[in-house]
Amino acid sequence: MKIGIAGGGAFGTALAVALALDGNQIQLWARSASAVAEMQRTRSNPKLPGVDLSQNINISAALDPLFACDTVLLAIPAQTLPAFLTTHMDRLDGKNLVACCKGIDLKRMTGPASTIRDLVPGAVPAMLTGPSFAADIARGLPTALTLACADDEMGAILQTALSTTSLRIYRTTDTVGAELGGALKNVMAIASGIAIGARLGESARAALITRGFPEMQRLALALGAQTDTLSGLSGFGDLVLTCTSEGSRNYRYGLALGTGAEFDQNTTVEGAATARAVRQLADELDIDMPICTVVADLTDNKTDVTTALNTLLSRPLKEE
């Protein structure tokens, strides 16, 4: 199986490094020709300091080598994924397309695997998700991920192809649960960062994580996900990681909101867009999503941190 990776950021590059360790030839595509030239020259990516790119990784800004692969990992932001798929749908037709991004498309209101299914109907859509930081993957540290593919036979093939000595891949056919678990945990990570940034303490963060998880489940189950998926790596596992570590961009964004600090506008924060999508879905489906709604209002500048926290703390008392 020829494996290509679309996206030369930290996560796409980390996957290339991990997959190349076992001797696989990996095609890595990045949009910026200048960034590609620098990566070719130094055999490194500045977003992954101290990590060498082996000669098994062919780095290119040209799309032809990428489209020559029968399996393409899509490590590009969820909000730009539809444009990429639409632009190249003819050349992606018939391929195994594995989404490696997490979020809900604001225009289509779908997760990455569903977006692939809708825009490239001749492809096999799949989702690779779970508790993982690019730096850990690139350094060869043990990482467990979920590979979701509705076609279980192809899912098993992809599971074998993407598993390495450091990447342990678990398989499911529940693509909806996998994509929603990965998307919704980013919103909770922002909320957790806000709690710590506002100096509410570790106990408040634990409460947010605990109450945030059933909130995730309510929406996911309403949209057809399976309960076990949300309780696994792509849901609860990813939730714990991103809500407790500054390695998470969404958590760092929440910290900035909580402290009133500036945040790098060039950093992709999928949870901000996801929160707005969730607020709309929750309204349409009449589902109570207080944490997601507050985060959406904050990222839209419709409220401030103090008011948002008071809104959550003043909710009616009820049974757990």
Active-site positions read 185
- Give the integer Cα–Cα distance in Å for 244 and 131: 12
Number of other CB atoms surrounding residue 217 within 10 Å: 21
Q: Which of 136, 138, 143, 148 is CA-nearest to residue 177?
A: 148
Sheet holding 143-148, edge to edge: 57-60, 26-29, 3-6, 71-74, 96-99, 124-129, 143-148, 167-172
φ/ψ of residue 71, rounded to 5 = -125, 125
3-class secondary-structure state, position 25: coil
Burial of 69 (C-beta count, 10 Å sphere; 0-12/13-18/19+): buried
